[in-house]
Copies of this chain bind each other. A is one copy, B any other.
Amino acid sequence: TQMELHTQGRQKFMEFPFVSAPHRELMVDLVSTVEDRLGSQLLPCTLPPDIQHCQNQNGTAQASLHIRSAHDSSTSKVDFILGSWLHFALPTGAALNITSLSAYLNPSTDAPNLVVELIQSSPTSLIFILDLPPRKDPVLYQEYLQTFYENTKLETRRQMLEKLPEVQPYVSSSLYLRCVLSPTAILIRIQTEDSGPERLEEIIKDQLHPVAKEVVGIWVDHCACGEREVEEEEKAYLKKRDQIIKRKTIEIDLGTNFPRLFGPELAGRVLGAIQEVYDR
């Protein structure tokens, strides 16, 4: 049944089998926080089983994908939430692990979306992205900047993490993604070669987890559940802008990696399934 399909896929997704315990606990906590508050608005994940969890022929690449749309856009502000993890073994013996949670709202509100991503390229190196990407040009709408970025004190969280000695700013190679992110986006690279993997796990547990949990809480309270007035004309603008961002993000995130890792046939079906949710 559909519900079994959802439950099995969710279980596999929530295992986060290739990352450290603090990394897994962070992701599980964030997904649970969002589901606890918004779950009653969401449909089960009904992607085919081999798309909810896919792997390549020799088992060096595995991925899990969990997408839940809102069942009623007249009562929910959520468009969909998307969780994923991707693991692939590098020829060097190391592995790359990417885990992410993002949430898109629908045009009944102009409040920001949510993006969390952890990219672990070695046991002592992690890229951490946490942001509420704006859904309208913040240059034109100062009330928007004030409401969602200044009043919520997101900058103090960014600065707190930036001050850790192991932290360097991270700059995305995509100019497009740089434009999509907010002025308080947390984009950092954490490197603990000198003190080992335990220190990285400690930073995930003691620093990243509480900040991510707080920011996700802000997003749920002020964005997914906050009241905003949006005029008809503006809805068309939000719909268009969201659509462009979704299309570009999938192109940048998955368009290059997936065909290489999983072959063109499976990659094509995965991208198609995501695209279908995006275009709904």
Interfacial residues, chain A to chain B (CB-CB below 8 A): 137-140, 142, 145, 149-150, 155, 169, 175-176, 178-180, 183-184, 240-241, 244-245, 248
B176 touches A241 (CB 8 A): no
List residues of chain B with CB within 8 A of the CB of A140: 137, 240-241, 244
Given A137-B137, A169-B169: A142 and B176 within 8 A (CB)?
yes
Copies of this subunit: 2
A139 touches B175 (CB 8 A): no
CA distance A184 to B176 in the complex (A): 10
List residues of chain B with CB within 8 A of the CB of A241: 137, 139-140
A244 touches B145 (CB 8 A): no
CA distance A249 to B138 in the complex (A): 14
B245 touches A175 (CB 8 A): no
B149, B155, B184, B244: the one contacting A139 at CB < 8 Å is: B244
CA distance A277 to B218 in the complex (A): 41
B145, B175, B245: the one contacting A150 at CB < 8 Å is: B175
A173: min CB distance to chain B, Å: 9
List residues of chain B with CB within 8 A of the CB of A244: 139-140, 142
B248 touches A180 (CB 8 A): no
A sample of 28 cross-chain residue pairs with beta-carbon separation below 8 angstroms, ordered by A number, consists of A137-B137, A137-B139, A137-B140, A137-B241, A138-B176, A138-B179, A139-B176, A139-B179, A139-B180, A139-B241, A139-B244, A139-B245, A140-B240, A140-B241, A142-B176, A142-B244, A142-B248, A145-B175, A145-B179, A149-B175, A150-B175, A155-B175, A169-B169, A175-B183, A175-B184, A176-B183, A178-B183, A179-B183
List residues of chain B with CB within 8 A of the CB of A248: 142
CA distance A137 to B245 in the complex (A): 12
Instruction: Considering the complex, give the chain B residue whose CB is closest to the CB of A173.
Output: B155
CA distance A138 to B175 in the complex (A): 10
